[in-house]
Amino acid sequence: MSKMDNLLSILWMLHSDHKITAKQIAEELEINIRTVYRYMDKLSASGVPIVSDTGHHGGYTLLKHFMEAPLFFDHEEQTSLIHAVVFAKKAGYYGGESLDKAITKLHHHTNQKQAAQVEKHINHLEVISGQHSFSMQPSMETYLHTIAIAITEGITIRINYRKNNEEQSTSRLLDPYKMMYWNENWYVIGFCHLRNDIRSFRVQRIEHVEWSQQHFTAPKHFSARDFFFKNLLPTIENKKEIVSFRIQGNKSTVDEICQHWFLGHYVHEHTENNAAFLFEKNMLHTHVPYFMLPFGTSIQVIEPTSFKTRMVEVLSELIQFYQT
């Protein structure tokens, strides 16, 4: 470990409820006992109130009521940090190795009482994520790191990007503004020099990424979320064609529909067992039936009648498809 890590480790050992000897510190950190003495002198010189007792039952302790530094987390704070790491790794965060190192340091700089409490809480948590239950591909992790640095430093990147259902990738320059994680996929959003416009790119479809010699300045107050969903969701262009879509059902199902990533953006009214949405007529008959299929008979459509007719058509098409 580095000198700073050793100093911090010694502080954590001194923070325990019992005395610790120079020999114990040396064995724990696998360093020379003379090095331990030098570290103790440096800590004392920096203002850490170390109490040294000589004799058979001697050792080092910290002066009681010593003010803890902000890096000294209590067990609830440690538990929260480790839980956050578990969620991040299962969700597909690209810095898995760094997260593991951080947690190892946290465990190393924790006294036995805190470690026991944290372990109890950790064992109560399981996170299941279908797509990212496996390890992330090393190439993708490298791409995400490269993009993250480019965003921070304002570096234009060159990417080879292959669109869905296309065999050949296209090389283009990109000013990356933000990274975004949505629906178990990573995206980079920025100014595409090839299209001369702001675009979003799914990182899984990037075949190569590298820094260029160019730099850029990102627009202030740019919202990746607003841009992403504005382009993802169909817009209501003809307000004369707006149709009210009303449903009713049990509270939990209605709530779930109103929180749906697509349907939730068009909620007009929402009561305990009812909800009303405003859709463009074409949108209602094109997209919405397929989103409503999974809810089966738990939802009743109040209006419009044309939607019920469209649902029958969709179901008939599916039946015919699977019967052939």
Q: Residue 4: pLDDT band by 50, 70, 90 thresholds?
A: confident
Closest CA to 145 of 103, 216, 180, 95: 95
CB 20 within 8 Å of CB 60: yes
Residue range 180-223, pLDDT digits in tens: 988 778 899 999 999 999 999 999 899 999 999 999 999 988 99
- The yes-or-no verdict on residue 307 having pLDDT over 80 is yes
Strands of 206-215's sheet in order across? 197-202, 185-192, 170-182, 155-161, 206-215
pLDDT at 133: 45
Residue range 57-113, pLDDT digits in tens: 788 888 765 645 445 666 677 778 888 887 887 767 777 777 777 777 776 666 666
- Separation CA 51–CA 48 (nearest Å): 9
- Separation CA 190–CA 280 (nearest Å): 29
CB 93 within 8 Å of CB 140: no
Q: Residue 17: pLDDT band by 50, 70, 90 thresholds?
A: low
pLDDT at 134: 45
- Separation CA 240–CA 233 (nearest Å): 19
Residue range 134-190, pLDDT digits in tens: 455 778 888 998 999 999 999 999 999 998 777 889 999 999 999 998 877 889 999
| Cβ neighbour number for residue 235 with a 10 Å cutoff | 8
Average pLDDT over residues 5-17: 80
Close Cβ partners of 83 (under 8 Å, ≥ 6 residues apart)? 121, 122, 125
Average pLDDT over residues 5-30: 84
Q: Residue 61: what are its φ and ψ, rounded to 5°?
A: -145, 170
- Read off the tokens for 247: 């449903």
Fold of 138-231: SH3 type barrels. (2.30.30)
Q: Where are the beta strands (DSSP E) in 203-259?
A: 206-215, 242-249
- The yes-or-no verdict on residue 244 having pLDDT over 80 is yes
Residue range 266-283, pLDDT digits in tens: 999 999 899 999 998 888
303: left (phi over 0), alpha (psi -120 to 50) or beta: beta
Is the link from the previous residue into 294 a cis peptide, with omega within 30 of 0? no
Which residue type is seen at 216? Answer: F
Residues of the chain with CATH 2.30.30: 138-231
Residues of the chain with CATH 1.10.10.10: 3-62
| Candidates 3.30.70, 2.60.40, 1.25.40, 1.10.10; CATH matching 239-323 | 3.30.70
- Read off the tokens for 151: 């965003």
Instruction: Locate all alpha helices (DSSP H) within 156-304, ordered by sequence.
Output: 224-232, 251-258, 281-286, 288-292
Residues of the chain with CATH 3.30.70: 239-323
pLDDT at 15: 75
What architecture does CATH give domain 3-62? Orthogonal Bundle (1.10)
Q: Dmax of the chain from CA atoms?
A: 91
| Cβ neighbour number for residue 306 with a 10 Å cutoff | 12
- Read off the tokens for 139: 């190439």
Token look-up 């296209």 returns 170
pLDDT at 13: 83
- Separation CA 67–CA 41 (nearest Å): 19
